[in-house]
Structures are given as C-alpha cells and as structure tokens.
Chains A and B, each alone.
Chain A
Amino acid sequence: MDLSDYPLELPEGQRPMVRFMNVTKRYGSLVVLDKLDLDVAEGEMVTIIGPSGSGKTTVLRMLMTLETVNGGVIYVDGKPLTHMEKRGKLVPADERYLRRMRSSIGMCFQHFNLFPHMTALQNCMEGPVQVLGLSKAEARERSEELLDMVGMIEKKDQHPSRLSGGQQQRVAIARALAMRPKVMLFDEVTSALDPEVIGEVTNVIRRLVAEHNLTMLMVTHQMGFARDISDRVCFFFGGRIEEQGTPDELFGNPQRERTQQFLSAVKEAG
C-alpha cells in the first residue's frame, strides 16, 4: 500500500479514537509490528497481552510518538498522527505537527520516569504550566485535585526519591492526567512494583475506568486485573493480533492454540 492509499482524514461517523492502519515497525531486519490493524473506540479500555517480544509495548510507544512507523498510518480522533497533509498528500509528520497531535495522548511508564529534581506537585504542574500555559495557581489547583484523587495529596511536597514505587506510579498517573489527554496509555505500570503495592495502582486505574470516559490502552501481565476492567483484550503474537475479544471470551474460551498455550503458561507461573 502506498501512502496515497490512506485517507487524509477518517470519514465522519467512522472515527474511532485510535486507529492503526496497516502499521509496520521494524528494527533492522526484526519485524516488531506486522501490518497491524487496530481500532479503539472512544471511552473503550483495551488491554494488550502477549509474550515478550510480541510488539505490545511498541503499540503504545508508537501511539506516544516515541517511535516512528516504518509503514502504515496511525489516526487519532480521525486525524493522522504519524503523518500530516502536505499539498493533498500524506507525508511523515514533522516535530511541530507531532507536538500539536501529541497533546491528546498521555502515557505512564513501567519505571514511572518522574522528574527526580522536582516534588510530586511540581512534577504534576510542569506540563500544565510549561506546555499548556496555565497560570501557576490554575496548575496547582488542577494538580492538587489529581494528587488527591490518586491518594497522594499528603506527599505532594516530597521528591520522588522519598516515595515508594507504588506512590511514584500514582504521582506519574496524576502527572499524565494533568495534561487532560483523550487517550491514556499504561505500559506495564505494575511490573516494577512490589506485589503488596500493586493494588494501590490498579485501584487508581479502576477508578479512572469507572468514573471517567477516557480511552485507554494498557499493556499488563496482571491477567486478573485485565479481565476485571477491560472492554476488550487483544492477544499479541509475533507483531500481530492473534486473537481478540471480550475478557470473558478471551480468558474463558480462547479459540487459538497460541492463546491457550500463553494463558496456561501464565496461569502456571502465577
């Protein structure tokens, strides 16, 4: 498929919040994503599971524009993300266009990546003040509200080095939400946590799902958690979606052999 075969904009009425259209990602000769098609509807919570190296984290990283595409186009809210229109044709997006589009996406990382030289509150205020141009007072109000929601308001003046992993991750969620994204990405946000604090992070995400109409994409190894809160679960294998369905379908009655193998391997390990 040539770039001219992709629409400049998705037609009205058929606009999922996120659309991967024939997206390929390669590192040298290694194909990480192989002509991936994936739609995520507005307000939908989609979980990606699969063995390591199956390309699941790459999906999130491409959506956050941390990686470039080698083929295909990603659309967000009907508009191309990875490409932009130039004289009626799609061309790879430049940094200026990316900055405009990126504002609708937020991401939380496995290792939190809080700014170590700033307090929890400063971490949350940084984006709203520097990027969105909010006044300090507005940004503070917004950030304190979110820190309260994630249960971290008492620790707002602490630096990350004084916080536990679970606490850091909750601050990181507040920091991402302070930018008011339409799409939130959670990349293995509990994988680096001690087992006893995983619950405090998953509970925050549960509340987000219950109380907000955010579109969310999550990569996780917590199968029970994925089953509880997802609208849809995608099982990735070899850079493709091997099987997808509702949590009950995919966990309760997997059709493909690879899905069955993976799920039973995970069950034994867990």
Chain B
Amino acid sequence: MRFDWNWAFTFEILPRLLAATLNTLAAAGIGYVIAIFLGLALALAQRTPWGMLTFVVREFVEFIRSTPLVLQIFFVFYVGPQFGIRLSPWTAGMIAIGLHYSAYLSEVYRAGIDSVPKGQWEACRAINMSTRDTYLRIVIPQALPPSIAGLGNYLVGIFKDTPMLSVIGVAELMHTANAIGAEHYRFLEPLTMVGVIFLAISLPAAGLVRLFEGWMRRKMGM
C-alpha cells in the first residue's frame, strides 16, 4: 500500500473544513452553556429537602451517565417525532449533548459544594443569612475554584464529542470531512486535518483552563 499525501488537495479542502470548525465550536459552546446552567440546577436540586425531587434528579443523572451519548442523540432526534416532537438536527443535538454533559457537570458541582467546610454554613446561619444568599454569596463562590479543573476537562470533552452529532446530520467538522471524502474518494487528507484541527484547539484550551483556575483563586484571595 502506498502512502500518498496530496498537499494541493489539502489546501483546497481546508477552507471548507475551517468553516465546519466554526459549527463544531458553536455546537460545543452552546451545548456547554446549557450544561453549565442545567448542571448547577441538577446539583442544587439534589440538595433540597424535598425527597421526591432529590430522588428523581439523582436517578436521572445516573441514567444519563450510564447510557451512551450517541444513543441519547439518536433517541432525541428519532423518537421525538413519534410523540409529535419534531426537532431540527441542531436543536436535537444541542438538547442531547447539553443534557448529557449537564449530568456530568452536576457531579463536578456536587463535589465542589461538598468541599465547602461545614463551618461556612454555620457562619451564614450565625449571621442569619437566607438559604438563597448562603448559596449565591458564600457557598457557590467557594465551590467554583475547586470545580474549574473538572469543568474544564468536560469543556474539552464536549468539544471532542461533537463528531457524534454527525450521525443525525449536523454539519460539523466530522460530518464535513466525511462528505469531502465521499465526494473525492480521498479520506486521508480530510480525516487527518480533522485530527490536526481538534488537537490545535484542545491543547491550548486545557492550558487556558489551568490559567483561569489560578486567576480565579487569586482573585478570591484563596
């Protein structure tokens, strides 16, 4: 078997791949924003005094974490219409990936909240703070810095999982590379470039997360 790499072809398809990269970044970004907020809601819901809610949310998180993402994407996209819910690939994809990662992020938040010492809660009680202020002003700000490493890992994770959206036809990077390959009967260049682009984004992102973590700790005087 001969290894022949065609540079001319590589440069020819590069603009299309870079355009698709924007879609990939958008998918990861939107999915992550959903997961950041929904994950916090799921973590807080598990700390309410209402046993039923806590139980349901707990089981939901376990269910999401125990089934494959690709199945969840298929499920939202293909099973929804059976119940009259018709979603575009983008919408279905964002819901599936946002839900999936919110379950993981809720666990990160949970560990972060658990790491806040009991004495902090008692100090809030002693100055008669409301439960809402206790969370918003004292507990969550202290739970965030130790959570950032975990949150950052999942940011890179969600980015690397976006190719799964290609199974329902979201025109992200992987989907585009496949399409190019099928059009030209050449897969080596497009797929290699996909790998290069992912690497070029993931590596600096991980470093930026570490810098951000340090900055946040300093800003909070911790």
Contacts and interface: CB of A to CB of B under 8 A. Distances in A.
B219 to A, nearest CB: 9
* Chain B interface main SS type: helix
Contacts of B130: 99, 130-131
Interface in A99-130: 99, 102-103, 105-107, 109, 111, 113-119, 126-127, 130
Contact of A99 (B128, B138, B222): B128
B120 interface: yes
A74 interface: no
A115 B128 contact: no
A116 B137 contact: no
Interface in B63-118: 117
A117 B222 contact: yes
A140 interface: no
B133 A65 contact: no
Nearest to A179: B127
B125 A115 contact: no
A115 B222 contact: no
A106 B126 CA distance: 6
A130 to B, nearest CB: 5
B138 A66 contact: no
Given A113-B119, A175-B127, A176-B127, A119 B221 contact: yes
A68 to B, nearest CB: 12
Given A115-B120, A117-B141, A161 B125 contact: no
Nearest to A107: B126
B142 interface: yes
A113 B127 CA distance: 12
Contacts of B127: 106, 126-127, 131, 175-176, 179
Interface residues of A, number: 30
Interface string B172-195: 000000000000000000000000
Nearest to A117: B220
Given A126-B137, A130-B133, A109 B123 contact: yes
B122 interface: yes
A155 interface: no
B124 to A, nearest CB: 9
A131 B129 contact: yes
A130 B117 CA distance: 21
Contacts of B120: 113, 115
Contact of B221 (A65, A102, A107, A116): A116
Contacts of B221: 116-119, 159-162
A126 B120 CA distance: 13
A201 interface: no
Contacts of A116: 142, 220-222
The 8 tightest CB contacts between A and B, nearest first, are A159-B221, A127-B127, A113-B119, A113-B123, A117-B220, A107-B126, A102-B128, A131-B128
Interface of B: 117, 119-120, 122-123, 125-131, 133, 137-138, 141-142, 220-222
20 contacts: A64-B125, A66-B126, A95-B131, A99-B128, A99-B130, A106-B127, A109-B122, A111-B119, A113-B119, A113-B120, A115-B120, A115-B142, A117-B141, A117-B222, A126-B137, A130-B137, A131-B130, A159-B221, A176-B127, A179-B127
